[in-house]
Chains A and B, each alone.
Chain A
C-alpha cells in the first residue's frame, strides 16, 4: 500500500510541476548540492575570534536563563557539583553520562555519583556538551552508547560540562564538526540543541520554567581562556 501511495504522490507532484521525473543532469546537480553542503548567510556576530565567541556564548546562555560557571580545569568538577547541589538544597546524589567517567566529577566525597541512564527519580543529571554555539547561547548535545539523550530532559536539574575550546560561532560549525566525527550525511541518533532551561508560556503567556524538561540548566565551562587546538573540530 505504501509503495503505491508513494508512486501516486510522486506522480502527482510531477504532474503539478508540469514535468516528468527530473532529468539525470538535474538530479546530479542536486546530489552535488547535498554532497557538499554550503552554509548560507551566517550572522556577523557568529564570526569573531575565539575569545569573543566565548564571551558571547556566556552572555547569550545567561540571557536565555542558563547559569554559567567557569573553572580553570576539570579537577574542580567534583567540587563544582557539590556546590551546585548545596546551593539549591538538593540531595547529595546525581547521575552522570558514562562518558564523564574519569572527568574529574568523581573528585568529591560529598556527592554519590552514578554513571548510567537517568531514572524518573533522579533530580540531577550531568552530561557532556559536544559543542556550544556562541551566536545564540545554545548547547549541542549528542547521544550515543555512553551519553543517554534522556539526561538532557528527565532530571529536574541539568548540568552540562563544556570545554571552552568547543565553543563555536554558529550552528553550521556544529554540523561541520559532526560530519568530521560521523562522516558525511550521518548523524548521531539524537542531536539536541538546548538554549536555556525548559519553559512554557501556555498559561496566559506567563513564562514558567521547568515545564517538562529541566527547571535549571547549569553550564560548567572548563578552560583557562586558551583555545585547545586538539579538540577543535
Chain B
C-alpha cells in the first residue's frame, strides 16, 4: 500500500471527527484490554512465561542464520520448497510465478501481515490472479478496498451497518439481495460465499505465526478456521513469512503460544493452531500436493543485532495498540501504513524511512502501557525515543518539535481530547509543512545519544480521563457484549 504516514496529523484529525470510528475504537479498548487483563490474571505463570518467550526469541535472533538454514533444510527434506526473498518485489514475483506454475486463476488467502507488507493483493490482481481474502475482517476490508486498521482485527474500524451495506453491494452478484441486520446473518452469508471460493481456488496463501526449525513446520493461529480451509483444499499451499518467525523447537512454540492468544484476545488458546509440515504425503487422505515457503527479509537481516533489533521479537499480538491512548484516539489508518499503533510507530520508520514516518515516533504519550503489556517485553517507548532523537539530530524534525511533543502529550491527556488533539494536529501540521530533511533509509547511523529523559508520563492516565469524559455525557452509553 502507498504509505500516508507523512500525513499522520491530517489523518489523525480526520479520524477524530469520524463518529463511527470513535465507537469502534471504544469497543477495542473495552473488549481487548479487559480480556487481556483477565487472561493474564488467571495464569499465575504468565509473567514468567513472558520472560521465557522473550529469552527464546533473543536466542533465535542471536543464531538466526543457523535456525533459518535448519528450518529450510527440514522443509526441503520433506518435499517442500523454501524461497529466500531479499525484497518485497522478489517475494511478489516468486509468489506470482508459483501461482502461474499451476495456472492459478484464483487464490484464497488467510490473514497475513507479510502479504500486506509486500502489497501482494494488488500485484496479483494486476497480473491476472484474483486474490480472495478469507479471514472475515480481511474480507470486509477487501470489499471496502481499505487497508487493515489493526493487526489482529483488520476491520475493527467498521460498524455492523457498514458491513451490512458492503455485503448488500457486493453479494448481489451471488443473488443475495437482502440487507442483513444481525451479525450472525452477516457471518453466515460470508461463510456461504467464501465456501465456494475455497473449493474453487487453485492456490491457498497463508502467513505464519511460527516457523519451527526442529521439524520444518509452519504454524498459523486463527479463530475462524479460514486459514485451514485455505491451505487444505487447493493444489498448492504457499506460506509467506518473514525471517524472524523462526523458533527452535515445538516446545518453544508452545511457550510463546501461551502468551500470544492471552495478549491478543484474552483467550487461553486461539481456536485453531495448525502445524503444517511439507506437502500432502503418500497415501494421505487430503492436503495440498505442493508446499512452498516464501521467506521474506525486507531489511530484517540488517535490523537484527542493531539497537532496534528487539523489534524482531514481536509476535504481532496487537496488545500494544489495544492499550495505546493514541491508537485508541485515532485508530489504525492514521498511521498510514501496514503496521499501526506503537509497534507500527517503532517499525514503520525502519521500513519506510524517517522522512515518510517522521510523525509516528511522536504519536505517543509515553505512558509506557505498550511495554507493560507487550508479551515479548519489547521496549517500545525507548525505541520511539530513539527515532525521535534520530529525526531531531538529522534535522528531519524542526527543533521546536521537542517541546511540541511534550505539549502534545500534555494536551492529549486532558479531558477535552478532541479539541486539544485537533488543535495540536493543526499546529503540528503547520510546523512540519514544507520542511524536508535529508535522511534516506540508513537505519543505524549513530549520532544521537541514548540517555535522554523521556517526557514524564502524562498525568493520571489517558484512559481514565477518557472514561470520565464519556460518563459526563460525551456519547451515549451503549455497549457491546
Contacts and interface: CB of A to CB of B under 8 A. Distances in A.
Max chain B Cβ within 10 angstroms of own Cβ: one of A26, A34, A190, A194: A190
A143 B466 CA distance: 50
Contacts of B428: none
B66 A9 contact: no
A16 B308 CA distance: 12
A213 B228 contact: yes
Given A9-B84, A12-B301, A172-B251, A117 B285 contact: yes
Contacts of A196: 271
Contacts of A154: 229
Contacts of B279: 189
B303 A16 contact: yes
Contacts of A5: 83-86, 90, 297
Interface stretch (B56-64, B359-367, B391-399): B56-64
A41 B199 contact: no
A43 interface: yes
A34 B214 contact: yes
A145 B284 contact: yes
B223 A43 contact: no
A188 interface: yes
Interface residues of B, number: 105
Contacts of B286: 117, 143, 148-150
Given A16-B304, A117-B285, A189-B277, A40 B228 contact: no
B274 interface: yes
A187 B464 CA distance: 49
Given A201-B265, A203-B186, A205-B156, A10 B68 contact: yes
29 contacts: A5-B84, A5-B86, A9-B243, A10-B301, A34-B70, A40-B52, A40-B56, A40-B255, A41-B45, A41-B52, A145-B283, A148-B285, A153-B229, A172-B254, A190-B276, A193-B274, A193-B275, A195-B268, A200-B187, A200-B224, A203-B187, A204-B27, A204-B160, A205-B153, A206-B481, A212-B136, A212-B224, A213-B225, A213-B272
Interface of A: 1-3, 5-6, 8-10, 12-14, 16-18, 21-22, 26-27, 30, 33-34, 37-41, 43-44, 60, 64, 97-98, 116-117, 120, 135-138, 143-150, 152-154, 170-172, 175, 178, 185-208, 210-214
